[in-house]
Amino acid sequence: MIVCVCRRVSDREIARHAHAGMDFDDIQFELGVATQCGNCECMARSLVQQCHASRPMAAIDHAACAQQPAPHSGGSLVWSSSPRSQAA
């Protein structure tokens, strides 16, 4: 499944890099995930976290990335941003 639409990065690519020992920042630099609109950041971070928890297969935790309309989106649903990206 594509996690980052802007950069066409899949959950498998993210998991493969995370299982290789890369943290989110490394994966972001390598793949470009969450470097444009940022709507995929929560899901990408969740996948990396799950992979680092030594789970054999990462599964997208939809509950952890609750969909909320962004103030600038005109009411359409977008992924919520992490507190880190909001501080930037």
Q: Under rule CB under 6 A, how many of the chain's residues touch ligand FES?
A: 12
Q: Say if CB 4 and CB 44 are below 8 A apart.
A: yes
For ligand FES, which is the closer residue by CB, 22 or 33? 33
Give, as one character, the DSSP assignment of residue 82: P
Task: Convert residues 29-48 into a mask of x (bound to ligand FES by CB under 6 A) and - (unbound).
Answer: ----xxxxxxxx--------
Q: Give phi and psi for 76, each to the nearest 5.
A: -75, 155
Q: Min. distance of Cβ 37 from ligand FES in angstroms?
A: 3
Q: Give phi and psi for 4, each to the nearest 5.
A: -105, 105
- Residues interacting with ligand FES, by CB under 6 A? 4-7, 33-40
